[in-house]
Amino acid sequence: MYLVRNGALKILTFGGGSGQYTLLSGLRDLKNVEITAIASMADNGGSTGRLRDELGVLPPGDILKCAIALSPLRDVAKKIMLKTLKGDQRMRGHKAGNMLITMLSRYTGSFPAAIRTLAEILEVSGRVLPATTNKATLVAELVDGSRIYGESAIDIPQKSHREPIKDLFLVPHHNGSILAYPPVIESIKDSDVILIGPGDLFTSIIASLIVPGIKEAIQSTTARIFYILNIMTKFGETHNFKGQDFIKKV
């Protein structure tokens, strides 16, 4: 039994990609809940990576998926926002929704403001927050001491064999610093339930948990914490993992 404050169960999720999308799609239809989704800001692949490299914006991909999942217009929004553009040469390969968030961000001068505007457009039920608004590169250190730079390189191994990941950390851009987005800390403290997963263990879940301030907030929260185990392992990240290995890493 949970102590529900203000008449609604406050659920916060950490995840990534299709895993978090599926979870949020189910939670959205529950009654008497308030949902907050935290999205990793480490993505640097595909359309998201191109926008990040060319325009210096924060990665919009996971934010977009969370917003679509929490929208009552989900089916139509998914069809339109995840449409891959093919016409103009420079636009080719970009997701329509990624371009919309990018343009909103540049127009407002604020990535969080762009997210709020997208949520208004899609009539999102709940909140979608970036783990951080500081630009950073995700780096994995392998057991042999070598390092891999960038989420996409960590996510998709270039060789048929790769040493296991020993450690993961974020490197700020341009001598900056990395801190959790303040509303994320507030949401962690105010939650009744925190759901960690599903999603890629290192490049989605841990990539958010290692943002300075988030771990400490989770350790001090009174919320019940549940870890949702992936149904499959992933080569390069969790190959040959057992359930207890996922838990130990988290």
Q: Is the pLDDT of residue 5 over 70?
A: no
50 versus 183: which is more confidently predicted? 183
Tell which wins on pLDDT, 117 or 92: 117
Give the H or E element holding residue 9. strand 9-14
CATH number at residue 127: 3.40.50.10680
Q: Let me know if residue 126 belongs to a domain.
A: yes
**Preceding omega of 59 cis (within 30 degrees of 0):** no
Q: Count of domains in the chain?
A: 1
Whether residue 41 lies inside any domain: the answer is yes
**209 or 44, higher pLDDT:** 209
| Helix and strand numbers, DSSP H then E, in the chain | 11, 8
pLDDT for 183 equals 97
Residue 169 lies in a domain: no
Q: Residue 33: beta bridge partners?
A: 9
Query: pLDDT value at position 50?
Result: 82
Q: Which helix (DSSP H) or strand (DSSP E) does residue 181 occupy?
A: none
Query: Which pLDDT belongs to residue 4?
Result: 53
The answer to whether position 138 is within a domain reads: no
pLDDT of 102 > 90? The answer is yes
Mean pLDDT, residues 171-181: 88
> What is the reported pLDDT for 1?
41
Residue 110: inside a domain, yes or no?
Answer: yes
Asked if residue 151 is part of any domain, the answer here is no
Distance, CA of 106 to CA of 248 (rounded, Å): 40
Does residue 42 sit within a domain? yes
Instruction: Report d(CA 20, CA 38) in Å as an integer.
Output: 10
CA 136, CA 52: separation in Å to the nearest integer? 11
Q: Higher model confidence: residue 192 or residue 238?
A: 192
Structural domain including 210 reads: 9-133+181-249
H-assigned helices in the chain = 17-27, 46-55, 61-69, 74-81, 96-108, 111-122, 151-155, 182-190, 207-209, 214-220, 243-249
Q: For residue 98, what pLDDT is reported?
A: 93
Between helices 61-69 and 96-108, what is the axis angle to 10°? 110
Per-residue confidence band for 241, with pLDDT thresholds at 50, 70 and 90: very high
Is the per-residue pLDDT at 20 higher than 60?
Answer: yes
Q: What is the mean pLDDT of the chain?
A: 90
31 within domain boundaries: yes
